[in-house]
Amino acid sequence: MSLAVIVGSCVNSPRLTVDVVKQSDAPAFRIQQTGGNGLLNLTIWNAETRERLWAVALNYFPGGVITYGKVPVAFQTFRRQPSDAVQEFPMENKRPLLLPVKSRLFLSLACQYDSFGSASFKTFYFTLITDEQGSVSSISTVERIKQSEFPSTP
């Protein structure tokens, strides 16, 4: 019994919070993560059409503010190595489409962490609701997304 408590306390379980801090031209998401080594990727897609809007390989981004359509650059990873994120969609670093109005979107963020001496990752999901201007009016955590709701492959 006490072994399970001791082992359980050794597990590094990441936590992630996301909120919208600015929306003038495009929403800016403040991402705070604890218990992890960095964020691996970010994807935003339309929940109704499954159309992928933006995808970024974050390359151990430590957290902070990410503005929709602007790829984070010149940050330090948890190992204090310089890194840049890389846009994966749209291709060729084209600007993503504006967020659709009056829509429900999904946001996924994968976080890398260590568990029992092994590298692990956990993906966090959020629902975004946009208003008639395409601004994010609410954001909430989602425990699980059905396979049929993931973005379609281009």
Place of tokens 């659709």: 100
Q: Is the dihedral of CA 139, 43, 51, 94 positive or negative?
A: positive
**pLDDT (tens digit per residue) in 15-62:** 999 999 987 789 999 999 999 999 999 999 999 999 999 999 999 999
A 10 A CB-CB count for 42 gives 24
**pLDDT (tens digit per residue) in 78-99:** 999 999 999 999 999 899 999 9
A 10 A CB-CB count for 93 gives 8
Burial class (CB in 10 A: 0-12, 13-18, 19+), 80: exposed
∠ CA 127-133-139 to the nearest 5 degrees? 20
| pLDDT for the residue 1 | 33
Q: Which domains does the chain have, with CATH numbers?
A: 14-143 (2.60.40)
DSSP label of 132: T
> What is the per-residue DSSP string for 12-78?
---EEEEEEEE-SSS-EEEEEEESSSEEEEEEEEETTT--EEEEEEEEEE--EEEETT----SEE-T
Place of tokens 């006490």: 2
| pLDDT for the residue 27 | 95
Asked whether 102 and 138 are in contact (CB, 8 A), the reply is: no
